[in-house]
Amino acid sequence: MLRPRRENERQTQSMFAKFARIFGIFMTLLYICMGIFIMFAGDTMNLDIPDTMKYALGGILILYGIVRFVRVYNSTKSNRNRYED
């Protein structure tokens, strides 16, 4: 049997959703920045990684950051629709 939600339960869930959204956006930016850093700042930091590996790893990190952003955006959109009911 379903019980009605209390106001404080909804507030707790929304606080967790806000934290998860902010953390997801932060991690998205971190992955994209790390990808750019590995691709272009590797020469100044004297990383002993071949150029093809730098670009491959940087590209993978950037793509993963974009995928994470899409997932955060979609989950935020679905959470808003769920709480509007």
Q: What is the pLDDT of residues 16-72, one digit of tens each?
A: 878 888 999 999 999 999 999 988 886 777 778 888 999 999 999 999 999 999 998
pLDDT bin (cut points 50, 70, 90) of residue 2 is: low
pLDDT of 84: 52
User: End-to-end CA distance of the chain, in Å?
Assistant: 19
Q: What residue segments make up the domains of the chain, in order of their start?
A: 28-84
pLDDT of 66: 95
**Is the pTM for the entire model greater than 0.75?**
no
pLDDT bin (cut points 50, 70, 90) of residue 9 is: low
Distance separating alpha carbons of residues 31 and 7, to the nearest angstrom: 36
Distance separating alpha carbons of residues 85 and 73, to the nearest angstrom: 19
